[in-house]
């Protein structure tokens, strides 16, 4: 599955507000869908790059040698899921924002896992 198809599939998940594929070494978005005035995906990509880097440093400092599968941030009305991917030496993550009132968190995480498995770069 290509990037555009992966982003469309993520936006088809119940409650999806926006999705981005981000290189967390550079903080650059490789693609996005959704978002808008209420959700600036460029700002989210840059900010979540900092979150991923901080968590990786923390795990390293703790001596935890396991990879990060995903990071969940829950706010009053939204879920924000950061799903880390490793593709041919690239360090990428899928960022998905969901409306809590319309989303099923378990199904969204399952959907992102399937998208990750099918995504080809």
User: Given this model, what pLDDT does residue 87 score?
Assistant: 65
The pLDDT, as a whole number, for residue 79 is: 97
Structure confidence at residue 102 (pLDDT): 96
pLDDT of residue 77: 96
CATH match for 3-118 among 3.20.20.60, 1.10.1740.10, 3.30.450.30, 3.10.129.10: 3.30.450.30
Whole-angstrom distance between the N-terminal and C-terminal Cα of the chain?
Answer: 8
Which residues of the chain are under the pLDDT cut of 70? 87-89
DSSP for 62-108?
A: HT--PPP-EEEEE-SSEEEEEEEEEETTEEEEEEEEEETTT--HHHH
**Which pLDDT belongs to residue 12?**
97
Name the pTM for this structure.
0.92
Please report, for the chain, the start and end positions of each structural domain, with discontinuous segments joined by +. Answer: 3-118
User: What integer pLDDT is reported at residue 30 of this predicted model?
Assistant: 94
**What pLDDT sits at residue 89?**
66
- What confidence score (pLDDT) does residue 36 get? 86
């Amino acid at each position: 599955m290509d990037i555009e198809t992966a982003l469309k599939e993520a936006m088809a998940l119940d409650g999806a507000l926006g999705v981005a594929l981000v290189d967390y070494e550079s903080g650059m978005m490789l693609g996005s869908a959704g978002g808008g005035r209420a959700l600036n995906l460029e700002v989210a990509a840059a900010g979540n790059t900092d979150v991923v880097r901080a968590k990786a440093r923390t795990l390293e400092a703790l001596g935890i040698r396991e990879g990060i599968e995903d990071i969940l941030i829950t706010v009053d009305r939204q879920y924000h899921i950061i799903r880390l991917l490793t593709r041919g030496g690239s360090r990428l993550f899928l960022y998905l924002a969901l409306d809590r009132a319309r989303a099923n968190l378990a199904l969204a995480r399952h959907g992102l896992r399937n998208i990750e498995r099918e995504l080809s770069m």
